[in-house]
Each structure stands twice: as C-alpha cells, then as structure tokens.
C-alpha cells in the first residue's frame, strides 16, 4: 500500500477518526489499507515473522483503543500508524535486548523469502523515496539514524558507539531528521 495522493491521505485520516468513534467498519477498512505497510515496518525492525505478526496485532489493538487521540492537525494517519507500530517494535526489541541486531546498516538487506505484504511495502514509492533521501545524509549520520530507528538505541548509546560527545550525536540526529523531512517534502 502506497499512500501517494492527498485524497488517499485524507481517506485514511477519516477512517482513523471514525475508528476513534468505535466504528468497526472503518477500523476494518483502515486495517485492510494499512496492515501490509505496518507489517513491513515490524518485520524490517524485528526480523522475525512471528514477532512481527504479534507486534502488528498489538499495534492494531492499540489503534482501536487510542484512535480517539489521533489529531490530523499534528500528523497524517499513516504517520501516526507507522510511529505507533515502530514504537511497539522498539518496545519488543528492548524486551529482548540480549538478542541485539547485527549491523543496522544491513537492515535494508533483510530478505523475506515468502511473497508477503512486507515485500509490497518495501517496494513502495515511499520506501524508495526514503532510501534516496537517506543516501543524501553523511555516512556517520545515516548510520546513526538507522541505528536509532531500527534498534531503538538512545542518544547516549549512539554517542558511545560512535565515540562522539552526546551533544554532537543529538545535533547529528536532529539535523539529519530535518534534512530527511525537507527531502521527503520535495
């Protein structure tokens, strides 16, 4: 599922708002339109199909309970949903901290042997655009952003691993995210 048009974004916003009003049909349609993308996020982060499925289920349970707190003025529905699923995946990673992921730079090389919604999500226009924008970052900053996103590493952990002061790491991440936002908005 690739959300590319303003009309599609507005429709997802409407479905999420209606879900917040306990509309089961809107929730079912929201799930149908977004689950493959969110599953892709979970699978890329967790690298385990069973874990990704569990986190996806937790995500939609939370969506049902918290959709009323969605504010379209602050973020689009898809951004809200991706952030929620990403945070759920990070929580799961932190629960299993001893199973640290290998090199975050290689996360995009994770291969899913089965044709799944994840494959569709990764081939989406949004994913390709994000990868193009990520390539515009300096290598160290790109690595830090990927590691923060995919492993949930804190600023302190990133600074220690990169052997830079904490303030430098915070500045790298902040500037990198601003650069990504600018690139993605073009």
Per-residue pLDDT of the chain (186 residues; tens, 9 = 90+): 445 578 888 999 999 999 999 999 999 999 999 999 999 999 988 888 999 999 999 999 999 999 999 998 888 899 899 999 999 998 888 877 544 445 555 455 444 444 455 445 555 667 677 788 888 888 888 888 888 777 777 888 888 888 999 899 888 988 888 888 888 777
Name the CATH topology of 1-97: Rna Polymerase Sigma Factor; Chain: A (1.10.1740)
User: So what CATH class is 124-186?
Assistant: mainly alpha
Q: For the chain, where do the domains classified as CATH 1.10.1740.10 start and end?
A: 1-97
Task: Please check whether residue 126 is in contact with residue 185, taking contact to mean a CB–CB distance below 8 angstroms.
Answer: no
Q: For the chain, where do the domains classified as CATH 1.10.10.10 start and end?
A: 124-186
């Amino acid at each position: 599922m690739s959300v590319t048009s303003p009309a599609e974004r507005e429709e997802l916003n409407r479905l999420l708002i209606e879900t917040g009003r306990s509309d089961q049909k809107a929730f079912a349609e929201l799930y149908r339109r977004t689950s493959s993308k969110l599953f892709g996020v979970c699978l890329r982060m967790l690298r385990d199909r069973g874990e990704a499925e569990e986190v996806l289920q937790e995500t939609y349970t939370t969506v049902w309970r918290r959709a009323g707190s969605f504010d379209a003025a602050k973020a689009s529905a898809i951004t809200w949903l991706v952030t929620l699923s990403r945070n759920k995946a990070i929580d799961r990673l932190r629960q299993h901290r001893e199973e640290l992921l290998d090199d975050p730079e290689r996360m995009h090389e994770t291969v899913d042997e089965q044709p799944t919604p994840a494959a569709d999500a990764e081939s989406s226009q949004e994913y390709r655009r994000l990868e193009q924008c990520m390539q515009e970052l300096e290598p160290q900053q790109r690595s830090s952003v990927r590691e923060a996103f995919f492993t949930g590493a804190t600023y302190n952990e990133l600074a220690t691993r990169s052997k830079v002061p904490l303030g430098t790491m915070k500045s790298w991440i902040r500037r990198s995210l601003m650069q990504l936002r600018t690139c993605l908005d073009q």
